[in-house]
C-alpha cells in the first residue's frame, strides 16, 4: 500500500482526503495545525460578513459535484426550489449550511490531522521526506495562500486592518482596493453607519465572479494547457485581476489617499507566488523546479513534473495549482486536483 500524505488541512486538503477515502485509499496521513478544515475559511468569511457561498452548486467538499448541498437542502426543506435553482446555476448555499456540511463530513470521515506544521519537503529515493515526520510516496501540498497582502505604505499604520481579519467599523472608514472584498466592505461599513471612502489604483473591473465557463470544460482547459508559458501567465494575470460582479457595486466617494479616516481596511487580497511561501520557496530552490512569473510550472494534473514519476507524486492544491486549473482556489478546483492526485495514488 503506498504511503500517502496531505500537507495542510484546510478546505482543499479536506476535499482531497474525502476523495482519497472514496477511492478506497484509507491510509492517508494529514499534517495540519488546524483540526477544523474550515478554520481559515470561517475567519475570512466571517470577517467580510459573507452570508452565502460565492460558488454555485459545486461549492461543497464531497468528491463528486452531485449531490451537492442543493439536494440536501431540498430534502431538509421538503421543497424542490433549491434543486431547481441549482439546475439554473442560481443556487448558493448559506455559509451556515456549508459549515454544517463540513463539520458533518469531518466527524463522519474520521478526519484527524497530525497537529503539526511541516517545515521542509525534501525529495528522497522513492518519495518525500516531510521534515523528519516520515517518508511518503505520494504527497499533496495544500497549505493555502502564503499570507495576506497589505501595501508597503500602510504596513505600520495602526488604523489598518485587513478585510479578511476580524473587525468592527469605526465612524469613518477608508477601504483600499477594488476587488470583491473591497465592494463587500463598502457595503458592510455603510450598513454599519460609517462614512465610507474608497482608495484604489484603478477603476474597478466589473465581471462575473467565477472563471469563464469555457475554462471549466475539458476543451477549454486543454486550450489553456496548450498555451506557451508566457501566454498562460498573461492569461492567469488577467483572470486573477481584482474584480467583482456588477450587482455588487456600491457608490462611495473615491479619494486619492487614506488620510483622515479613523480606520483603514486593506481589501488587498493575498500575497501571490511561491516566493512568499515558506514551504514552496526552498523546494523550488533545492530541487531547481521550473517556474514562470512566480508560478511553479505544474503538469495539467497539478503534479510537479520534475518530482513526479511512476513511483512517487508531488502535487500542489489550492492557489498554487492555478497554473494547472485557474479555479484551483475554489472548492470545485480542489475537487479537480483531488481526483488527479487520487488517480496517481491508485495507479502508481
Ligand X SMILES: Cc1cc2nc3c(=O)[nH]c(=O)nc-3n(C[C@H](O)[C@H](O)[C@H](O)COP(=O)(O)OP(=O)(O)OC[C@H]3O[C@@H](n4cnc5c(N)ncnc54)[C@H](O)[C@@H]3O)c2cc1C
Q: Contact positions toward ligand X, by CB under 6 A? A: 7-13, 31-34, 39-41, 44-45, 48, 50, 53-55, 59, 117-118, 142-144, 164, 279, 318, 329-331
Nearer residue to ligand X within complex by CB, 131 or 229:
131
Compute the least distance from the CB of residue 7 to ligand X, in Å.
5
Q: CA-CA distance, 18 to 273, in Å (whole number)?
A: 27
Which of 216-243 are b and which e, b meaning 16 or more Cβ less than 10 Å from the residue's Cβ? beeeebeebeeeeeeebbeebeeebebb
Min dist CB 342 to ligand X, Å, is 16
Kindly tell me which of 45 and 264 has the beta carbon lying closer to ligand X.
45
Residues forming a β-bridge with 123: 128
- Residue placing its CB nearer to ligand X in the complex, 210 or 293: 210
Smallest distance, Å, CB 257 to ligand X?
Answer: 27
Question: Closest CB to ligand X among 224 and 336?
Answer: 336
If residue 180 lies in a helix (H) or strand (E), which one and from where to where? Answer: helix 180-191
Smallest gap from residue 310 Cβ to ligand X (A): 27
| Residue 5 vs 252, nearer CB to ligand X | 5
Closest separation between CB of residue 32 and ligand X, Å? 4
CB atoms within 10 A of CB 327: 21
Kindly state the smallest distance separating residue 260's Cβ from ligand X, in Å. Answer: 28
Main-chain phi, psi angles of 201, to 5 degrees: -75, -25
Nearest-angstrom CA–CA distance, 20 and 48: 32
Q: Least distance from C-beta 140 to ligand X, angstroms?
A: 10
For CA atoms 291, 6, 72, 100, the dihedral sign is: negative
Of the CA atoms within 13 Å of residue 253, those in its CB half-sphere come to 12
Q: What are phi and psi of 15, to 5 degrees?
A: -60, -40
Pick the closer one to ligand X by CB: 142 or 196. 142
- On whether the CB atoms of residues 14 and 95 are closer than 8 A, the answer is no
Q: 51 vs 309, which CB is nearer to ligand X?
A: 51
How far apart are alpha carbons 153 and 117 in whole angstroms?
A: 31
Nearer to ligand X (CB atom), residue 145 or residue 232: 145
Query: Is the CB of 286 or the CB of 309 nearer to ligand X?
Result: 286
Q: Are 162 and 148 in contact (CB under 8 A)?
A: yes
What does the block give as the cell for 325? 486549473
Least distance in Å: CB of 292 to ligand X? Answer: 21
Least distance from C-beta 271 to ligand X, angstroms? Answer: 12
φ, ψ of residue 113 to 5 degrees: the values are -65, 150
Its sign, for the CA torsion 29, 31, 35, 36, is negative
- Cβ-contact 252, 196 below 8 angstroms: yes
Cα distance between residue 344 and residue 315, in whole Å: 10
Distance between CA 162 and CA 185 in Å, rounded? Answer: 11
Residue number with the smallest Cβ distance to ligand X: 10
Amino acid at each position: 500500500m503506498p504511503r500517502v500524505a496531505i500537507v495542510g488541512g484546510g478546505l482543499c486538503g479536506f476535499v482531497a482526503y474525502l476523495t482519497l477515502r472514496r477511492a478506497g485509499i484509507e491510509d492517508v496521513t494529514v499534517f495540519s495545525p488546524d483540526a477544523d478544515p474550515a478554520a481559515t475559511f470561517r475567519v475570512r468569511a466571517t470577517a467580510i460578513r459573507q452570508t452565502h457561498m460565492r460558488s454555485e452548486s459545486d461549492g461543497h467538499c464531497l468528491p463528486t459535484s452531485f449531490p451537492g448541498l442543493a439536494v440536501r437542502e431540498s430534502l431538509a426543506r421538503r421543497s424542490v426550489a433549491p434543486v431547481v435553482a441549482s439546475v439554473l446555476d442560481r443556487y448558493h448555499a448559506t455559509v451556515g449550511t456549508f459549515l454544517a456540511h463540513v463539520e458533518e463530513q469531518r466527524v463522519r470521515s474520521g478526519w484527524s490531522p497530525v497537529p503539526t506544521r511541516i517545515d521542509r519537503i525534501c525529495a528522497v529515493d522513492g518519495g518525500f521526506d516531510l521534515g523528519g515526520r516520515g517518508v511518503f510516496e505520494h504527497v499533496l501540498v495544500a497549505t493555502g495562500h502564503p499570507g495576506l497582502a497589505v501595501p508597503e505604505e500602510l504596513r505600520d499604520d495602526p488604523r489598518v486592518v485587513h478585510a479578511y481579519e476580524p473587525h468592527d467599523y469605526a465612524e469613518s472608514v477608508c477601504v483600499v482596493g477594488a476587488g470583491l472584498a473591497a465592494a463587500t466592505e463598502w457595503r458592510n461599513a455603510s450598513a454599519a453607519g460609517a462614512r465610507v471612502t474608497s482608495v484604489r489604483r484603478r477603476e474597478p473591473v466589473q465581471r462575473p465572479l467565477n472563471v469563464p465557463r469555457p475554462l471549466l470544460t475539458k476543451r477549454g482547459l486543454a486550450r489553456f494547457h496548450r498555451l506557451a508559458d508566457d501566454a498562460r501567465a498573461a492569461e492567469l494575470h488577467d483572470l486573477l485581476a481584482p474584480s467583482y460582479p456588477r450587482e455588487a457595486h456600491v457608490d462611495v466617494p473615491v479619494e486619492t489617499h487614506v488620510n483622515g479616516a479613523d480606520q483603514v481596511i486593506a481589501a488587498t487580497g493575498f500575497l501571490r507566488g511561491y516566493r512568499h511561501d515558506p514551504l514552496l520557496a526552498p523546494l523550488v530552490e533545492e530541487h531547481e523546479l521550473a517556474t514562470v512569473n512566480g508560478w511553479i510550472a505544474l503538469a495539467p494534473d497539478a503534479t510537479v513534473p520534475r518530482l513526479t514519476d511512476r513511483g512517487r507524486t508531488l502535487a500542489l492544491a489550492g492557489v498554487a495549482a492555478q497554473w494547472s486549473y485557474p479555479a484551483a482556489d475554489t472548492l470545485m478546483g480542489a475537487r479537480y486536483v483531488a481526483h488527479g492526485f487520487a488517480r496517481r495514488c491508485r495507479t502508481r
